[in-house]
Amino acid sequence: MDYSNNITYLFLEGHVDLEKYRYFYFVITLTVYMLIICCNSVVISVIYTNKPLHEPMYIFIAALLCNGLFGTAAFYPKLLSDLLSEKQVITHGACLFQAFCLYTCAASEFTLLSAMAYDRYVSICKPLQYSTLVKMSTVKKILFFCWFVPSCEIGISIILTYRQLCQFKLNRIYCNNYSIAKLTCGDITAMSTYGLILLTIVVFPTLFFIIYSYVRILEVCLKSSKDFRRKALQTCLPHLLIFISFAVTVCFEVINSRLEGNMPHMFAMIMSAENFVVPPLINPVIYGLKLQEIWNRIKRLIWKRNMHVFAD
């Protein structure tokens, strides 16, 4: 490949430990990506094609899964290409665009999980006001906020990072905004400060709101019947598991970005990639299997297709 033109290229050095078994890793990565696409697409399709599921809770689930597909689309195709390439390179512009997509996906995930907590809080703690507080018009506004606001916030961060580079080696398997910033020639104080402020704005309010929502839900459950507690846990537990898993991986990614080089490379790479493997893979499994209504629809769909096959 000719790198002598005016386009600035970055070399992704994080693949060093993968070089020896790269074809094996390619097969594993491709399998995981196909599973993510299939599992998420099935649940999204079931929600989309069944009108009884056109309710706020299921719409938020579909939005969460769509967001996961968006994030993995920015991660896996490039990774798969790099695993088959002798040189792992990416243009400066493409690297910033990948960082924009991945960061927007992460920020949207937090806001969507917060919206889902609000939906469960109103449903369980204020059931008589649910139809008033969580109308379809409200759901549309929430979804617009969940995607538009994070994209604007992350866009500003990417603009602050876009400047001339003095170094061209990125010790990662994908593009990370803070790591790119450290390769630039100028002072990165403004970008770093904005990033910390943005992290505080996105993560902490979401965290406190979700904790508050589930404390209130727990209070109501403790005063309710055993059957009510079972149904509440059935819908709330998957959300909590997903939030905890996602929050842990995001916190690690932030710490790893700020302390890059102070952790074993292979461990840091696995934990960074985990954010694009576990949440998008377990989200459809948890919601598809744990939420009875979705699982019943999936079983009916499979049953109908099997019947058509036998009939033919």
Tens digit of pLDDT for each residue in 101-145? Answer: 998 998 898 899 889 889 888 988 888 888 888 888 999 999 999
The CA-based angle 98-100-106, given to 5 degrees, is 105
pLDDT tens-digit map of 10-27: 888 777 666 778 888 899
Q: Sorting pLDDT into bands at 50, 70 and 90, what band is 277? A: confident
Note down the domain range covering 15: 9-311
CATH number at residue 299: 1.20.1070.10
pLDDT tens-digit map of 207-219: 888 888 888 888 8
Question: How many structural domains comprise the chain?
Answer: 1
Q: Is residue 4 part of a domain?
A: no
Q: Is residue 66 part of a domain?
A: yes
Q: Residue 1 has what pLDDT? A: 43
| Burial status of residue 120 (CB atoms within 10 A of its CB: 0-12, 13-18, 19 or more) | buried
Structure tokens at 8: 């600035």
Q: Is residue 214 part of a domain?
A: yes
Region label for 261, one of left (φ > 0), alpha (ψ between -120 and 50) or beta (otherwise): left
Chain Cα centroid distance, residue 62:
13
Distance CA 236, CA 66 (A): 20
Q: Is residue 1 part of a domain?
A: no
**Mean pLDDT score, 242-267:** 70
Distance CA 59, CA 146 (A): 13
**Mean pLDDT score, 69-78:** 93
Which runs of consecutive H residues, i.e. helices, occur in 172-225? Answer: 177-181, 189-222
Q: Is residue 64 part of a domain?
A: yes
Q: Sorting pLDDT into bands at 50, 70 and 90, what band is 194? A: confident
Q: Is residue 3 part of a domain?
A: no
Q: Is the pLDDT of residue 97 over 90?
A: yes
pTM: 0.85
Q: Is residue 16 part of a domain?
A: yes
